[in-house]
Amino acid sequence: MPDLQSQDYVRRSASTLTPPSIRNHEQEVAKLIDVSRCIGCKACQSACMEWNNLRQDIGYFEGSYDNPMDLSPSVWTLMRFTEWEDEQGNLEWLIRKDGCMHCEDPGCLKACPAPGAIVQYANGIVDFVSDNCIGCGYCVKGCPFNIPRVDPVDHKSYKCTLCSDRVGVGLEPACVKACPTGAIMFGTKSDMTDWAGDRIKDLKSRGFENAGLYDPPGVSGTHVMYVLHHADKPSIYAGLPDKPHISYLVGFWKGLIKPVALAGLAFTALAGFLHWITVGPNEVQPEDETEARRLLNAAKEPR
Amino acid sequence: MTYPDGAIIRYSAASRINHWITGGCFVLLVLSGLSMFHPMLFFLSELFGGGQWTRAVHPWIGVVLLVSYGGLVIQFWRDEMWTRDDLEWSEAISRVLVNEEEGVPEVARFNAGQKFVFWAMALLIPVLFFSGLVIWEVYFSSYTTIEQQRIAVLIHSLAAIAAIIVWIIHVYSGIWIRGAMRAMLHGYATPGWAYRHHRKWFRRLVDTGSRGPVPNVDASARKHP
């Protein structure tokens, strides 16, 4: 919300100065998605479209419950359905609500070259400020979860805002409000972690011995967390990364190279300047002209 | 195009136009590219009408540069071929750098330093072009994986930095060697300049009765049957 000052930024893309951050007495929030309680009704998808005024073009049936088939600039959350057989051959239907994970250490923000196009508030929400977005797609390369989508018409990148406009006025995100089974919960990150602990204990007592919380440390934790009944293998849930982290390529590109490259350019220019004031210009001497003239005249003489 | 009497023609008008299209594109690419490389240089994007315009126009300038540099390669590759003399000249670079050129091997149309710049750019520009295509979000993002795009953007940055360093060397050489700028801008040099910096080339021109930039082939054929 660029019009109302939030003054609670903890991170601001492509900025070398500390962003306005005085209103920092705020608890970190989290959305907890309990995959084991999800019935795949897509109410969260509808609520997201409704609150955010998003309407994806109507597509085609692709032989899958996934509808639409992928995230897009106007699809910020999506149920992904997986049929999975466990070791005993039992079929499980895994349904995961996909969308921005709101990483504590956001790869999109790290990669973004436009000052203030991606911000993180003190409550942990990572938000795209479209006014500042230049449409380069670097956030797509930075994201470990393949979430941002750049719109081909307005050249702006979009993703889930965690309903930062609702959370900012004390409401829960629209998907949380709509969920009929309580599979999506919202609150402070510590409350959600505690609640997840109870759920995991319950799941374990019912035979899901690998149940656990998905709050990956590779991105310093996330503000969208999952309770998974098979937390030992997140990737069975439609490719949820097992150990997500910001790509080392991105880390190198946005880390070491930037200062070293600018220093290299400055050094080369400085070396040139020092050469200029010490050795100085290389000028043609009168002897050169004389000698050249002599060769030219010699060539003109008949042989 | 007229040149002063007795001047040696260094570059044809076509070469100069080709060179300055390339140079202009390169400068625009450096400014727009650096604005997207480091936050402290983002203000450069204002020169192009803001971040969205910078992002949109940068790749198109790159396309022009590739084509333009292709023209330079076609025009100059023969004179830029590496020879044994270039090795000797390179070994004497410490004397060249302090303007003491006595005993340094005579140079043909281009010295080893110029050849280095030419071939470095001939390598880096296609690398920049193809890595740039991969990260040209609007048209080509759907043809590669995100991991491939990460590799491409890293290669693009590293190659760009290398190219800018080569370019600084190129520009400074033009400032350092008096008369080089006139040759690049207006196409001619004095005989003394040609004698001092490109003596082997100058001798060939004199031997074949050419004003430059290339030796008179018919004359040399007559002279060495």
Which tens digit of pLDDT belongs to each residue from B79-113? 999 999 999 999 999 999 999 988 899 999 999 99
Domain A9-254 class?
Answer: alpha beta
3-state secondary structure of A130: helix
B117 CB neighbours in chain A (<8 A) are none
Q: Which of A216, A206, A207 is nearest to A237 (CA)?
A: A216
Flag if A140 and B146 touch (Cβ within 8 Å): yes
What pTM does this model have?
0.93
Q: Which of B197, B205, B190 is nearest to B173 (CA)?
A: B197
Minimum distance, in Å, between the CA of residue A113 and any CA atom of chain B: 5
B206 CB neighbours in chain A (<8 A) are 295-296, 299
Minimum distance, in Å, between the CA of residue B218 and any CA atom of chain A: 16
B152 Ramachandran zone, left/alpha/beta (phi>0; psi -120 to 50): alpha
Q: How many C-beta atoms surround the C-beta of residue B153 within 10 A?
A: 24
CA A74, distance to chain mean position in Å, is 16
The residues in B 126-145 lying below 8 A from A, measured between CB atoms, are 135, 137-138, 141
Q: How far is Cα A100 from Cα A224, in angstroms, rounded to an integer?
A: 8
Of A115, A249, A288, the CB nearest to B154: A249
Q: Is B27 on the interface with A (CB under 8 A)?
A: no
Q: Where are the domains of chain A?
A: 9-254, 257-300
* Residue B2 pLDDT > 50: yes
CB of A161 closer than 8 Å to CB of A127: yes
Q: What is the pLDDT of residues A170-212, one digit of tens each?
A: 999 999 999 999 999 999 999 999 999 999 999 999 999 999 9
Predicted confidence band of residue B225 (pLDDT cuts 50, 70, 90): very low
pLDDT at B222: 52
Of B52, B138, B176, the CB nearest to A152: B138
Enumerate residues 6+ apart whose C-beta is below 8 A from A173: A31, A162, A163, A166, A167, A184, A186
User: How many A-B residue pairs are in contact by the CB < 8 A criterion?
Assistant: 152
Q: Where are the domains of chain B?
A: 9-82+111-189
A282 CB neighbours in chain B (<8 A) are 99, 176-178, 197
Average pLDDT, rounded, for chain A: 95
A256 CB neighbours in chain B (<8 A) are none
Question: Tokens for A233?
Answer: 């293998």
* Residue A43 pLDDT > 90: yes
Three-state SS letters, A161-202: CCCHHHHCCCCCCHHHHHCCCCCEEEEEHHHHHHHHHHHHHH
Residue B126: is the preceding peptide bond cis (ω within 30°)? no
A133 CB neighbours in chain B (<8 A) are 51
Average pLDDT, rounded, for chain B: 94
Three-state SS letters, chain B: CCCCCCCEECCCHHHHHHHHHHHHHHHHHHHHHHHCCCHHHHHHHHHHCCHHHHHHHHHHHHHHHHHHHHHHHHHHCCCCCCCHHHHHHHHCHHHHHCCCCCCCCCCCCCCHHHHHHHHHHHHHHHHHHHHHHHCCHHHHHHHCCHHHHHHHHHHHHHHHHHHHHHHHHHHHHHHHECCHHHHHHHCEECHHHHHHHCHHHHHHHHHHCCCCCCCCHHHHHHHCC
* Residue A3 pLDDT > 70: no
Q: How far is Cα A28 from Cα A188, in angstroms, rounded to an integer?
A: 6
pLDDT at B219: 54
Predicted confidence band of residue A1 (pLDDT cuts 50, 70, 90): very low
Mean pLDDT in residue range B138-163: 97
B178 CB neighbours in chain A (<8 A) are 281-284
pLDDT at B103: 85
Enumerate residues 6+ apart whose C-beta is below 8 A from A81: A40, A64, A65, A66, A93, A94, A95, A238
pLDDT at B114: 97
3-state secondary structure of A281: coil
Q: What is the pLDDT of residues A207-252, one digit of tens each?
A: 999 999 999 999 999 999 999 999 999 999 999 999 999 999 999 9
Fold of B9-82+111-189: Fumarate Reductase Cytochrome B subunit (1.20.950)
* Residue B124 pLDDT > 70: yes
Percent pLDDT > 70 in chain A is 98
Interface test with A, best of B176, B211, B216, B220 (most A CBs within 10 A): B176
